[in-house]
């Protein structure tokens, strides 16, 4: 397998890793790319216009129809519909400076109204559908809607999304793809597509500047009310240029994605959607997701539509792997066109990495390129990119052109801060929060920690070292690095553990609350406990002292609760929310008893 990744060393396909490190007297240092950022689009609509002209008949977007067939849009068809919807939006004479808000999941109508709004300089905000779809308590969605003050609200189905909107007290225009006639005063989505595009659309499009607000995205709200992050056209267009300079193969091969990641988050809504828009690729909207009864849809869609890049969060891969490992023909179809498997949103356990590579070797005779990136909602999103062959999980890549990454000593870690053209200008209508987000040099305080793989060779990339705020001290005075420990524990307990929450605040030893997988449920309780005991023992044998060695574990019967904020709709566990909500389980964990599992 000496030539397994010949193309990775081709500078025409991937940029060679390069970095400059500048140190300071206080122990901090800055790492940046010596490659200058090249010119980028003025606004997102320029991408759409380009591909509608250059590749009008190429497939742009597809989604499953109700009858199981695929509804498809070419770039030319997309541009025509965006123009018509944009004209209708202008005709509604919406309240100035008020956004369009989308309440429902990824869909063709969803992307069309988003693109139409941005095409005429109207900011768009997609809100997680879970706030409306998975609860009857509309307190959170009402708070979000009133904070956003939308001019227009779009959702797929009035039966699902009408009740939270009707009870919100808003007076915004309502648009639904289904059931508009049942909601007083609402417009049907189809009605927006019947108006021919006029010169007013071009006039509004030409008035857009790079600093025009393109999107508002909400943070997860794990520490309180969600913050509204401003994403400008400059941020989004510059960030895709950065990615393009690292992934040079995008200029030669148009990406094909089969993607479920929600557009309410920056991973799906900015990184992946904009990757397709910037490079004229194809986005197949996956109607599955990493959840029981849904992951089967995702795997079937992957096999049928065969992406060239598979984007997912670690939980998505972990749930797909058992299906693929059990069906070699299915796995072969999924891997047939893959150039890359890309994970983000959370750290990937090494056990999951190893299973993905073993599967790739089994079905295609060689490993697959596993890669990642790191960033945030406030950085649109990518700060780093691992645009070279990685030997293991943990490295988050090198700093992209146009950005500076600062490492600042903070306790026993190096806190990361970032500055550059793709960093957000602030939180909407929140000057105090905006001021707190930056340090005195204008670096954004992202809240993560990291360190260089090799202090003498910064081009070898950055290792993620968890969230600064998640870490805690044991009563012995020893710091616990939650992010790195969590990944080690999940990997050691694979494949029976979906995720763990690390405990030990104000105690003398570490414990873990364990969310089991579907595979765990199929095991007898004694056999599962035996596996977890062995995993705890193995972790202790690896060394690392009390800060990296859990001494006890407790299996949780109730899965993570999305309504309570314990898990996002990307499948990422909110450690703080779980610790707060499951205080009684933590008490049981440290009280001992027959359900507590110890190393052995």
- Is residue 424 pLDDT above 80, yes or no? yes
Residues of the chain within CATH 3.40.50.980 domain(s) are 72-231
Measured in whole angstroms, the distance separating CA 18 from the mean position of its chain's CA atoms is: 26
Question: What percentage of residues in the chain have a pLDDT greater than 90?
Answer: 84
Q: Does residue 158 carry a pLDDT above 90?
A: yes
Instruction: Give the 3-state secondary structure of residue 457.
Output: coil
Q: Note the CATH architecture for domain 72-231.
A: 3-Layer(aba) Sandwich (3.40)
191-204 pLDDT tens trace: 999 999 999 999 99
- Which residue in this structure is represented by tokens 């700060």? 383
Average pLDDT (265-292) is 96
Q: Which of 238, 227, 317, 228 is nearest to 274 (CA)?
A: 238
Residues 6+ apart with CB under 8 A from 460: 17, 395, 398, 452, 453, 454
Arithmetic mean of pLDDT, 213-220: 92
Q: Which residues pair with 231 in a beta bridge?
A: 215
DSSP string, 56-89: TTSEEEEEE-TTSSEEEEEHHHHHHHHHHHHHHH
pLDDT digits (tens, 9 = 90+) for 238-275: 999 999 999 999 999 999 999 999 999 999 999 999 99
Q: Which residues pair with 22 in a beta bridge?
A: 30
Range(s) of the chain covered by CATH 3.30.300.30: 472-597
pLDDT at 382 over 60: yes
DSSP readout, 529-553? HHHHHHHHHHHHHT---GGG-EEEE
Query: For 33-58, what is the mean pLDDT?
Result: 98
- Can you give the pLDDT at residue 6? 79
369-375 and 340-343 strand pairing? parallel
Distance CA 288, CA 290 (A): 7
* pLDDT of res. 253: 96
Q: Give the per-residue pLDDT at 518.
A: 85
Instruction: Write the pLDDT tens digit of every residue in 324-367.
Output: 999 999 999 999 999 999 998 667 889 999 999 999 999 999 99
**Main-chain dihedrals φ then ψ at residue 312, nearest 5 degrees:** -165, 165
pLDDT, position 529: 95
- For residues 64 and 72, the answer to whether their CB atoms sit within 8 Å is no
Regarding beta strands 497-503 and 510-516, do their DSSP bridges make them parallel or antiparallel, or are they unpaired? antiparallel
Compute CA distances 289 → 26, 349, 586, whole Å: 46, 19, 30
How many residues are recorded in the chain? Answer: 600
State mean pLDDT over 553-563: 90
pLDDT for 222: 42
Cis before 495? omega within 30? yes
pLDDT in tens, 512-526: 999 999 889 889 999
**Confidence (pLDDT) at 160:** 97
For the sheet with 510-516, list strands across it: 497-503, 510-516, 550-555, 596-597
Name the pLDDT band for 176 (thresholds 50, 70, 90): very high
Across the strands, what pairs with 385? 373, 398
CB atoms within 10 A of CB 571: 23
- Give which of 212, 192, 204, 203 is closest to 80, Cα–Cα: 192
Q: Predicted confidence band at 4 (pLDDT cuts at 50, 70, 90)? A: low
Q: Do the beta carbons of residue 254 and residue 559 sit within 8 Å?
A: no
pLDDT exceeds 80 at position 2 = no
pLDDT in tens, 106-156: 999 999 999 999 999 999 999 999 899 888 889 999 999 999 999 999 999
Local confidence band at 470 (pLDDT 50, 70, 90 cut-offs): confident
Task: Give the residue-averaged pLDDT of 494-515.
Answer: 94
- Cα 185 to the center of its chain, rounded Å: 35
Task: Label the pairing between strands 596-597 and 282-285.
Answer: unpaired
Q: What angle do CA 199, 205, 206 make, to 5 degrees?
A: 95
Class of the domain covering 472-597: alpha beta
271-287: average pLDDT: 98
Q: What is the pLDDT of residue 380?
A: 96
What pLDDT does residue 136 have?
82
Residue whose C-alpha is closest to residue 325's, from 354, 345, 366, 292: 354
Q: What is the pLDDT of residue 412?
A: 83
């Amino acid at each position: 397998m000496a030539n397994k990744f010949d193309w990775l060393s081709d500078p025409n396909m991937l940029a060679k890793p390069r970095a400059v490190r500048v140190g300071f007297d206080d122990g901090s240092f800055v790492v940046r790319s010596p490659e200058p950022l090249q010119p980028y689009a003025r606004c997102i609509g320029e991408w759409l216009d380009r591909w509608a002209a250059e590749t009008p008949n190429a497939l742009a977007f597809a989604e499953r129809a109700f009858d199981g067939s695929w509804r498809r849009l070419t770039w030319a068809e997309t541009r025509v519909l965006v123009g018509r919807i944009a004209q209708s939006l202008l005709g509604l004479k919406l309240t100035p400076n008020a956004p369009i808000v989308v309440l429902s999941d990824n869909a063709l109508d969803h992307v069309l109204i988003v693109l139409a709004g941005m095409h005429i300089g109207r900011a768009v905000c997609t809100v997680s559908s879970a706030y409306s779809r998975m609860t009857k308590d509309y307190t959170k969605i009402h708070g979000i809607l009133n904070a956003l003050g939308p001019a227009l609200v779009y959702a797929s189905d009035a039966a699902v999304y009408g009740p939270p909107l009707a009870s919100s007290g808003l007076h915004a225009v309502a648009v639904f793809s289904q059931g508009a006639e049942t909601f007083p005063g609402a417009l049907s989505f189809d009605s927006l597509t019947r108006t021919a595009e006029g010169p007013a659309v071009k006039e509004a499009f030409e008035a857009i500047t790079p600093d025009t607000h393109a999107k508002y995205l909400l943070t997860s709200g794990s520490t309180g009310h969600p913050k509204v992050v401003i994403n400008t056209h400059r941020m989004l267009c510059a960030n895709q240029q950065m990615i393009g300079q690292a992934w040079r193969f995008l200029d030669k091969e148009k990406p094909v994605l089969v993607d479920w990641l929600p557009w309410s988050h920056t991973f799906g809504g900015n990184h992946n959607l904009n990757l397709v828009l910037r490079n004229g690729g194809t986005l197949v909207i996956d109607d599955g997701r990493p959840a029981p009864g849904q992951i089967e849809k995702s795997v079937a869609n992957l096999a049928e539509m065969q992406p060239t890049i598979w984007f997912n969060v670690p939980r998505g891969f972990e749930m797909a792997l058992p299906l693929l490992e059990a069906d070699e023909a299915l796995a072969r179809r999924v891997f047939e066109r893959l150039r890359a498997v890309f994970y983000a949103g959370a750290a990937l356990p090494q056990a999951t990495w190893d299973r993905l590579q073993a599967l790739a070797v089994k079905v295609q005779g060689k490993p697959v390129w596993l890669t990642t990136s790191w960033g945030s909602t406030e950085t649109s999103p990518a700060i780093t990119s691992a645009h070279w062959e990685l030997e293991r999980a943990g490295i988050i890549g090198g700093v992209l052109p146009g950005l500076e990454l600062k490492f600042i000593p903070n306790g026993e870690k190096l806190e990361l801060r970032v500055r550059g053209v793709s960093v957000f200008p602030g939180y909407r209508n929140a000057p105090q929060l905006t001021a707190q987000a930056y340090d005195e040099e204008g670096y954004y305080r992202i809240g993560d920690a990291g360190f260089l793989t090799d202090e003498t060779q910064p081009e070898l990339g950055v290792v993620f070292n968890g969230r600064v705020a998640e870490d805690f001290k044991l009563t012995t005075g020893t710091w616990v690095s939650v992010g790195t420990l969590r990944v080690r524990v999940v990997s050691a307990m694979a494949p029976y553990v979906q995720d763990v929450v690390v405990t030990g605040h104000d105690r003398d030893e570490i414990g873990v609350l364990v969310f089991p997988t579907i595979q765990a449920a199929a095991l007898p309780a004694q056999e599962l406990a035996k596996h977890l005991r062995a995993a705890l023992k193995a972790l202790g044998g690896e060394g690392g002292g009390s800060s990296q060695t859990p001494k006890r574990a407790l299996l949780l019967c109730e899965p993570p609760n999305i309504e309570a904020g314990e898990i996002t709709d990307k499948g990422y566990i909110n450690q703080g929310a779980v610790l707060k909500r499951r205080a009684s389980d933590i008490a049981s964990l440290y009280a001992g008893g027959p359900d507590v599992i110890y190393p052995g």
